[in-house]
Amino acid sequence: MVLVIATILMRPGLAEVQTTPRFPSIPGSPIDITKCWSSLTSIQGCVMEIYKSVVTGKFDNVGAMCCKAFLAIDAKCWPQMFPLNPFFPPLLKDGCSRIAIAPTHK
């Protein structure tokens, strides 16, 4: 799945086109994977922030808006979104719970 996301994000010539990417779904699943990702793809850079977290295991680079969007995703989507790493969504949820509620300093 990570490779699919990276391929979608890095295809040449698509950097300037703002379209909603279509994600492959697991056959027979009632979950619409594109709908699961939609709240993340609507925030600029959010999918890349999450991708970096998958690769590095660090959650401090995920922004507050992206975390809020991730926390709003139905947990039923997680197995579809991260089929190769079932432990990642709960870890990101925990990290995002801290980031999303952290006070901002001006």
The pTM score is 0.67
Instruction: Identify the residue whose tokens are 């979950």.
Output: 31
Tell me the average pLDDT across 74-93. Answer: 91
Q: In the chain, where are the structural domains located? A: 2-9+31-101
Please answer whether residues 5 and 51 qualify as being in contact, where contact means their C-beta atoms are separated by less than 8 angstroms.
yes
Taken in order 18, 24, 30, 31, the sign of the CA dihedral is negative
Tell me the average pLDDT across 40-63. Answer: 92
Tell me the average pLDDT across 54-76. Answer: 92
